[in-house]
Amino acid sequence: MCGRYDLHNHPGAIALAMGLPYPQDLIPRYNIAPMTDIPVVRIAADGAREMVMMRWGLVPRWAQDPSIGARMINARGETVATSKAFRIPFARHRCLIPADGFYEWQKLPDGRKQPVRIAMRDGRTFALAGLAERWLSPDGDVLDSCTIVTIDANALLAPVHARMPVIVPPDAYGRWLDASGDPPVDLLAPYPEGAMTLYPVSTRVNAVRNDDASLIAPVAADPRTEPRPPAAAAAADDPDSGPVQAALF
């Protein structure tokens, strides 16, 4: 599952990383949570890439109520091509969600959870694989929303959590965004762990009201305990399989 992430690099660096023609006016954010508006990169009508804001928590066009988005912050990569909620967005409305890092919570033997941050070793902005959808209310109001695709964790993240977001390699951004051909199923794979880093961070990240640079600073691991392996991957990322936990600890 991916339920919290950060995006704080300079807007110019983000634009360069995402292949955007010009920087966007972005406020640094260190604790981005579901059901908030987030920056998303998609293909505009003129064929160029553009950055727009979308609600994190996909609302299918057939939904009766937009509150369903709280259960659709993630989409399982293994079933995304066949899921009732995600198959059309996967085929037609793929997007990139820029991030500088994301958080997971490591279960400890005493029952506590240690937050950790996962990022690229070189600190660069990367792209999470996203899906987008447009929902129209009975009154004609428009809601653009999105979800993050997840897959089995790589060797770096597996001791912490069984799932991780799909990270699109930079040379595959065009393929992911191009809706004219078959969906790039081959990109639904764990990102190479050698390019990534993972370290413990403050438990202040647990509260979504905290949003400052101290959240991404490393902290000393708890010397009293050793982390235990996570439980088997749950079906929580797929709304067709049951309720989803939004990871808002």
Q: Please tell me the distance from the alpha carbon of residue 11 to that of residue 32, in angstroms, as a whole number.
A: 16
173, 178, 183, 189 alpha-carbon torsion, rounded to 10°: 0
In three-state secondary structure terms, 219 is coil
Q: Is 78 a catalytic residue?
A: no
**Residue 113 structure tokens:** 């959870």
- Among the listed residues 2, 95, 133, 146, the single catalytic one is 2
- Among the listed residues 95, 104, 133, 146, the single catalytic one is 104
Residue 86: DSSP 8-state: T
Q: How far is CA 20 from CA 13, 14, 89, 146, 173, in A?
A: 10, 8, 22, 19, 12
Q: Is 2 a catalytic residue?
A: yes
Catalytic residues: 2, 104
